[in-house]
């Protein structure tokens, strides 16, 4: 687990994204007309996705393969930064990413579709603490050991970082210590076990885990709900705009509720479906990025 680093050094930039991918990725990025060199459709998944469910992965792969018309490879990495770097550099055809990297790379990425949860393409960030702790406000978490999910996560980092910045604070001055778990489930586990006293977590993941693992999640409680924010989207490189496979992907996602295999995917994900949305859906997240950048 990593000690907390200042936001300035943690923000994913185009330079760091390309550096992560190495020379081959840089070559692809500088030649935007080129698609991923390998055969098959590469679809990236970040830790915001409930990717530990093997049944879900198998059903999703089967559904997308049939809909797109060619083999689909599901590509996962430990961090958001790695998947975003591959996507921006053109080594993935599309990926289910987070709203935070989406707004940072808005110039390089197209919005394909956004999940709908409880009837809207929105979710919240939760600040959580141990179930028996008498913390009623976020200010009561001062001095905690705090678990963040990922430095490029909206709900698992940015929302809390922006909340503190709006109040003239930084994580290193508010929390006694913070670390990254690299997974929203891990944030919940850290707080439930006492490894962390509080945590920043995706509200959708917390709610789904409350259904799937009630004993674990029952050891935590919500101290603060954020405002509603754009749900983590599926995005593709702008270099692939108009590519028929991306068109088929969008149709497959937005029509998922009309197919038996698609409905299985949605049931496993506990979402209503995917909808076409405008990039403006993520303006609130972009505003948080600006708050953090201005504060330093």
Residue 147 has pLDDT above 90, yes or no: yes
From residue 223, how far is each of 29, 50, 103, 246, 247 by CA, in Å?
42, 23, 27, 40, 41
Quote the percentage of the chain above a pLDDT of 90: 79
Cα 213 to chain centroid distance, Å, stands at 21
pLDDT tens-digit profile of 4-24? 433 333 444 443 443 344 333
Q: What is the C-alpha separation between 247 and 242, in angstroms, rounded? A: 7
Can you give the pLDDT at residue 265? Answer: 94
Residue 86: CB atoms within 10 Å: 23
Name the pLDDT band for 52 (thresholds 50, 70, 90).
Answer: low
- What mean pLDDT value characterizes the chain? 87
At the topology level, CATH places domain 123-229 in: D-Maltodextrin-Binding Protein; domain 2 (3.40.190)
pLDDT tens-digit profile of 188-223? 999 999 999 999 999 999 999 999 999 999 999 999
Whether the CB-CB separation of 165 and 171 falls below 8 Å is answered with no
End-to-end CA distance of the chain: 24
At the topology level, CATH places domain 2-121+231-295 in: D-Maltodextrin-Binding Protein; domain 2 (3.40.190)
Residue 64 has pLDDT above 70, yes or no: yes
Q: What is the C-alpha separation between 151 and 103, in angstroms, rounded? A: 14
pLDDT tens-digit profile of 168-180? 999 999 999 999 9
Scanning the structure block, which residue is given the tokens 């006293």?
Answer: 197
Question: Where are the domain boundaries for CATH 3.40.190.10 in the chain?
Answer: 2-121+231-295, 123-229
Rounded-to-10 torsion of CA 21, 22, 28, 32: 60
Can you give the pLDDT at residue 55? Answer: 84
Rounded to two decimals, what is the model's pTM? 0.86
Q: What is the C-alpha separation between 224 and 126, in angstroms, rounded? A: 6
Residue 240 has pLDDT above 70, yes or no: yes
Whether the CB-CB separation of 257 and 52 falls below 8 Å is answered with no
């Amino acid at each position: 687990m990593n000690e907390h680093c200042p936001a300035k050094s943690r923000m994913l930039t185009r330079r760091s994204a390309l550096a992560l991918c190495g020379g081959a990725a840089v070559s692809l990025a500088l030649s935007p007309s080129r698609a991923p060199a390998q055969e098959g459709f590469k679809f990236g998944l970040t830790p915001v996705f409930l990717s530990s469910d093997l049944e879900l992965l198998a059903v999703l792969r089967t559904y997308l393969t049939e809909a797109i018309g060619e083999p689909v490879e599901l590509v996962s990495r430990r961090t958001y930064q790695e998947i975003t770097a591959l996507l921006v550099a053109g080594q993935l055809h599309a990926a289910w990413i987070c709203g935070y990297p989406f707004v940072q790379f808005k110039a390089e990425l197209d919005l394909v579709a956004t999940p709908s949860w409880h009837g809207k393409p929105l979710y919240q960030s939760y600040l959580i603490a141990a179930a028996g702790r008498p913390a009623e406000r976020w200010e009561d978490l001062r001095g905690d050991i705090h678990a963040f999910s990922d430095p490029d996560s909206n709900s698992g980092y940015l929302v809390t970082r922006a909340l503190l910045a709006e109040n003239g604070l930084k994580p290193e001055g508010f929390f006694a210590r913070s670390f990254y778990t690299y997974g929203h489930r891990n944030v919940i586990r850290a707080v439930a076990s006492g490894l962390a006293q509080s945590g920043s977590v995706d509200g959708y993941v917390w709610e789904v885990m409350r259904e799937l693992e009630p004993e674990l999640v029952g050891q935590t409680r919500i101290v603060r709900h954020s405002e509603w924010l754009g749900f983590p989207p599926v995005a593709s490189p702008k270099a692939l705009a108009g590519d028929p496979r991306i068109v088929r992907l969008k149709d497959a996602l937005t029509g998922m509720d009309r197919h038996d295999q698609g409905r299985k995917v949605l049931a496993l994900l506990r979402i209503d479906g995917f909808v076409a949305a405008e990039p403006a859906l993520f303006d609130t997240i972009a505003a948080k990025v600006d708050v953090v950048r201005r504060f330093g």
